[in-house]
C-alpha cells in the first residue's frame, strides 16, 4: 500500500474539501460573486456538491486504505485535482483570487495535486498489487453492458466539456440549465472525465469489494449534486428544455439502484 504520508494527505484532502464544500453549498448566493471565476449561484452550489462528494470519497479511501480496495477512488481524486488545477492555469487570465473562498479553492487543489504526485511516485516505486481475493462480480451481459454504457456516456460528457466551444449543442442550457462560460464548461468536463476514467479498470478487475467500495465512496457526489439540483429546481425549464430531465435522471438512475446493491451486498468490507 502507499505510505502513511499519502494517507495523511488524503485525510487532509477530505478536510479541505469538506470545509470548502460546506461554504459553497450553504452560501451559494453570497459566494458566487466572489468565487474564483464568474459563476452563478447554482453553479456554485453544484461545485460545492463536487467538493463535499470529494471529501466523502477521500475520507472513505483514507479510512480503508488498502490499495486493491480503494485504488479507483484515488485515481479519481488524483485526476480531478490535476485536471482542475490545469483548468485554472489555462484560464489564469480570468482567475479572481481576491476573496478567501477563491484562495481556499485554489489551495485545496494544490494540496490535491501534491497528494496525487506523491501517490503516483509511490505507486511507480512500490508497485502495490491488486491482491483482491474476494468473490468476483457476475459477468452477465447486462452488468457489463451497463458499465460500458456508463463509461461511454459520462466519458463523452467529459470529453465534450473539455473540447466543445461555447455555442455548441448542449452548452446553452440544453442539459445543465444555465449558460456556462468556457472556464466553467472545462471545469465540468474535467469532473465528468475523471469520473468516467476512474472506473475503466473495472472492465478488467471484476472483484466485488473494490466495485462496492468505489460505489459507496462516490455516493457523496451523487447525493450532494442531486440535492443541489433540487434546491435550485426553479432554474430548470423542463417544458422548454427537456434535456434538464436527463441531468436529474442520470444521477437518480445510478443512485437509486446502488442503494439496493448496498443493502444486498454491503459496501466492500
| Tens digit of each residue's pLDDT (9 = 90 or more) over 230-254 | 999 999 888 888 878 888 888 888 8
pLDDT of residue 139: 46
pLDDT of residue 133: 47
pLDDT of residue 171: 74
pTM for this structure? 0.93
Confirm if 187 and 86 have CB atoms less than 8 A apart: no
pLDDT of residue 28: 98
Q: Which residues of the chain have pLDDT under 70?
A: 130-140, 170
Confirm if 147 and 115 have CB atoms less than 8 A apart: no
User: Crossing angle for the helix pair 208-217 and 243-265, nearest 10 degrees?
Assistant: 130
C-alpha cell at position 255: 443512485
> How many CB atoms sit inside 10 A of residue 163's CB?
11
C-alpha cell at position 5: 504520508
Q: Distances from the Cα of 251 to the Cαs of 103, 127, 160, 227, in angstroms?
A: 30, 34, 18, 10
SS3 (DSSP) at 16: helix
pLDDT of residue 246: 81
pLDDT of residue 215: 94
CA angle 243, 84, 18 (to 5 degrees): 90
3-state helix, strand, coil in the chain (%, to 5): 75, 0, 25
SS3 (DSSP) at 179: strand
pLDDT of residue 132: 55
Q: Distances from the Cα of 229 to the Cαs of 36, 141, 183, in angstroms?
A: 21, 33, 20
What distance in Å separates the CA atoms of residue 265 and residue 188, rounded to the nearest whole number? Answer: 32
Q: Which residues contact 263 (CB under 8 A, 6 or more apart)?
A: none
Give backbone dihedrals phi and psi of 136, rounded to 5 degrees, phi first.
-90, 150
Q: Distances from the Cα of 41 to the Cαs of 5, 27, 111, 112, in angstroms?
A: 36, 9, 25, 24
Q: In this predicted model, what pLDDT tens digit does every residue of 185-195 receive, in sequence order?
A: 999 999 999 99
pLDDT of residue 140: 60
Amino acid at each position: 500500500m502507499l505510505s502513511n504520508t499519502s494517507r495523511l494527505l488524503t485525510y487532509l484532502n477530505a478536510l479541505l474539501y469538506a470545509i470548502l464544500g460546506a461554504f459553497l453549498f450553504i452560501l451559494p448566493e453570497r459566494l458566487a460573486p466572489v468565487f474564483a471565476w464568474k459563476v452563478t449561484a447554482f453553479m456554485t452550489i453544484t461545485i460545492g456538491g463536487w467538493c463535499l462528494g470529494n471529501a466523502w470519497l477521500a475520507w472513505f479511501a483514507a479510512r480503508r486504505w488498502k490499495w486493491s480496495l480503494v485504488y479507483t477512488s484515488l485515481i479519481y481524486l488524483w485526476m480531478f485535482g490535476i485536471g482542475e488545477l490545469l483548468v485554472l492555469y489555462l484560464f489564469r487570465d480570468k482567475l479572481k483570487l481576491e476573496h478567501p473562498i477563491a484562495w481556499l479553492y485554489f489551495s485545496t487543489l494544490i494540496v490535491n495535486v501534491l497528494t496525487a504526485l506523491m501517490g503516483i511516485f509511490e505507486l511507480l516505486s512500490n508497485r502495490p498489487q491488486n491482491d483482491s481475493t474476494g468473490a468476483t462480480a457476475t459477468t452477465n451481459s447486462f452488468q457489463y453492458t451497463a458499465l460500458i454504457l456508463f463509461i461511454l456516456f459520462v466519458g463523452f460528457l467529459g470529453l465534450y466539456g473539455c473540447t466543445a466551444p461555447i455555442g455548441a449543442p448542449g452548452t446553452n442550457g440544453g442539459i445543465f440549465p444555465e449558460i456556462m462560460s468556457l472556464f466553467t464548461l472545462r471545469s465540468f468536463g474535467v469532473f465528468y472525465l475523471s469520473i468516467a476514467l476512474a472506473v475503466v479498470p473495472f472492465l478488467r478487475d471484476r472483484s466485488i469489494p473494490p466495485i462496492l467500495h468505489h460505489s459507496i465512496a462516490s455516493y457523496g457526489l451523487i447525493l450532494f449534486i442531486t440535492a443541489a439540483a433540487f434546491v435550485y429546481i426553479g432554474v430548470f425549464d423542463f417544458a422548454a428544455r427537456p434535456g434538464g430531465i436527463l441531468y436529474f435522471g442520470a444521477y437518480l438512475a445510478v443512485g437509486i439502484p446502488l442503494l439496493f446493491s448496498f443493502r444486498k451486498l454491503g459496501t466492500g468490507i
